[in-house]
Amino acid sequence: MNVVIAIPAYNCAPQIGRVLDEITDEVATRVSEIWVIDNRSTDDTLERALEHRRTGRLTNLRVFRTRQNNSLGGTHKVAFEHARAAGHTHVVILHGDNQAKSDEVGLLLDHAQAHPETQTVLGSRFSRGSLLQGYDAKRVWGNRVLNGVYSAVALRRLEDLGSGLNLFALRDLDPATYRRFADKLTFNYELILDLVARRVHFAFVPITWREEDQVSNARNWNIFRTALRNLALWRLGRSTSEPVADRDYEWDEVQ
């Protein structure tokens, strides 16, 4: 396994330092590199990440800035493409707003190491053993409804459609499909349906999910509607989104 942890970060200056602090030395030694991908934040996210790098504690930490704001889905594309080009085999996506616990990256790696046929391991907020701390009741409910509807249509138990802590094996991803998916926050819904359609072996592992000082940029009803629309299109065998033109998924390393 040659793993990179990619941390999409947009306007999470208060939290990004905690995300990095919580990466234990044990987790850091299990991965090749740790990438903060600042998605053109308008607050001090970038500066906070650079401050942490200057402490030198995480020797394999690198900080990048995208050339455009690519939203969360677009940042997945940036991470996958750069990881593939650099020869990594796995990408952990860890949200930069500290809702997940960084040390739980280890749980996903453990699972992949114990199950060679299952290399994509998704953190789940809604499984037996998951721990929710302060997560808004409306969002819990909305997620549970979507999980149920998706599971019924996909004919398999989908315990969480898109948490902020996931391990993807690049061999399990098809650039020809994910490049077409929307750049916005519904990317993960499209991706999981794509994994189901391509009969990829993936597993869910329960994680902790917190809500403390995070400000969500997600527009809940919009996401809910798009999620159902995508599911209907998928069931009908139609593509869930159109290829996007004029996007720039390049980044620059910030020293």
Ligand X SMILES: Nc1nc2c(ncn2[C@@H]2O[C@H](COP(=O)(O)OP(=O)(O)O)[C@@H](O)[C@H]2O)c(=O)[nH]1
Q: Residues interacting with ligand X, by CB under 6 A? A: 8-10, 12, 39, 69, 71-72, 75, 95-97, 99, 164, 185, 214, 216-218
CB of 210 to Mg ion, least distance (A): 10
CB of 88 to ligand X, least distance (A): 20
> Stretches 10-18, 91-99, 183-191, 222-230: which one binds Mg ion (CB under 5 A)?
91-99
- Can you read off the two tokens belonging to residue 43? 């607050």
Q: Are 124 and 205 in contact (CB under 8 A)?
A: yes
97 lies in the site for Mg ion, by CB under 5 A: yes
> Stretches 65-73, 94-102, 112-120, 144-152: which one binds Mg ion (CB under 5 A)?
94-102
- Can you read off the two tokens belonging to residue 240? 């869930």
Nearer to Mg ion, 11 or 99 (CB): 99
CB of 175 to ligand X, least distance (A): 20
CB of 76 to ligand X, least distance (A): 9
Q: Could you give the CA distance from residue 143 to residue 146 in angstroms, rounded to a whole number?
A: 5
Q: Residue 249 CA to chain centroid, in angstroms?
A: 16
Strands 165-169 and 251-253: unpaired
End-to-end CA, the chain: 28
Nearer to Mg ion, 23 or 112 (CB): 23
- Can you read off the two tokens belonging to residue 133? 């701390």
Residue 181 DSSP code: S
Which residues of this chain interact with Mg ion, rule CB under 5 A? 97, 99
